[in-house]
Structure 1
Amino acid sequence: MTQNTHILRTKLEVETEFGAFLGDTRIRLLEAIAIHGSISQAAKKVPLSYKAAWDAIDNMNNLAEQPLVLRSAGGRQGGGTQLTAYGKKVVALYRALEAEYQAALDRLTASMHEESDNDFQQFRQLLRRMSMKTSARNQFAGEIVGMRSGQVDFEVRLRLDAENELVAVITRESAESLGLTMGMEMFAMVKSSSILLLTDTRVKTTARNHLWGEVSRIHEGPVNSEVILTLPSGKTVCAVVTHDSIGKLELQVGQQACAVFKASSVILCLQS
């Protein structure tokens, strides 16, 4: 009788305390950027769409303590794009961890012949459930620098960088459940559809969050357009707005604009 042989082959997913950060696809994108010096050529090599490649870079730079990728203007062909010294170290560390990870899986596989097929299938299902992702386009890591408790709501201020803070309002129950304390590092998510754009510095709004940056990309869709603002620190904010709004604001790449969103639109997460 032939014995079934199960082999575990999986791709390493690296997470910070703020959530998903690196995976095989993103690492291959970084390696391709290092080789080609062009985001468009690197995206084709992976392969990824041009937009998906930029989205991945924006997300990594937003979550990292330092930028992994530096870019310069150059239109749709990508201009000059290169890994920072920090980015090169991250890639090297990932590949080293990947080798150790696979070695551990090989040892686990070797012992699985003593387990039932049902146990193996349950283990695979558990791994799938543990790889849950979020659909929120804007994900930021920040340190709690202010808290204010009200009768019902609880206000939290996160420092995103040297120039910008993000304000979130959650329930007191949520704050108690998360065990929030000053200096704690949190993960904040904001849906792109919750963000409004302004270009006039004289306009006042009741929204607590105003993040000024430069329009770095405009991706036009069949109904709405996706606008990416790059903050001075290199972090990015994505907003989905109508084509009419693009026209009324006369938005163009290189223009200064402000991402505006309510504190109640911010979701706070704590990686356990």
Structure 2
Amino acid sequence: MASRKDTSRSPTDLPHALTDASADKRLDVLRHVAAGCSISQAARQVGISYKAAWQAIDTLSNLSGVPLVERTVGGVGGGGARITADGLQLLALAAELARARQQVLARFAGGALIEGGLGLRTSMRNQLRCRVLRCAPLAPGDPTVEVTLATAGGAQLVSSITQESADLLGLAPGLAVLALCKATAVEVSLAASNVAAGALTGRIERCSPGARQDEVVLALEGGGHWVGFARHPFNGRVGDVAVAALMPAALVIGLAG
């Protein structure tokens, strides 16, 4: 049975699916479905799992606010998928935006001002350019992978994400990405002799006292800043070396370009 279309939304909801810099591979899945492929065929064409292909469709539909693919029942294969009119409209919009982006890039040598995901609006204050060092499953058969990132200053960050997300982003060693994290997920302390893996070390640039927590801004080696919180009262002073620690599950990865 085909999905019932939601007629309450506004057509202007569709562009929300294109604000995520990681959408390209998801759009590839949608393009193959539009060309008549099943979800399994689209997954093979894009080089991802069947589960990741459905995740791509579901994510784009969630961002759009409307179904982009209808699940159909029956037939020799027991059912399939068919792109909706909204799905076709999204692909047309994506193509138009791609052409406009190329025109803008052609006017700026190197594109330095428009790389790095400037179109992404998020509450996460920590956004740092990195490169992928490693991407491997936590254990054989585990559905999550551990991604190790290198900052411009040579420090390493560790993120834990699903295998499907890693596939959709096309993560591989050397790929330029953005490391994103909420400041409230970062715990700052004065530097000790042993720094845990995945923690960032920097010099305190600003410290704003609070009732229970103090907000601390660190200047990182190689450029960039990282914001976190320390228990009040924090004894660090401007210029002191401090460490920002976070759980791997708190670090989000986005495509930089």
Q: TM-score, structure 1 length as denominator?
A: 0.47
**Greater share of helix:** 1
Tell me the TM-score normalized by structure 2. Answer: 0.49
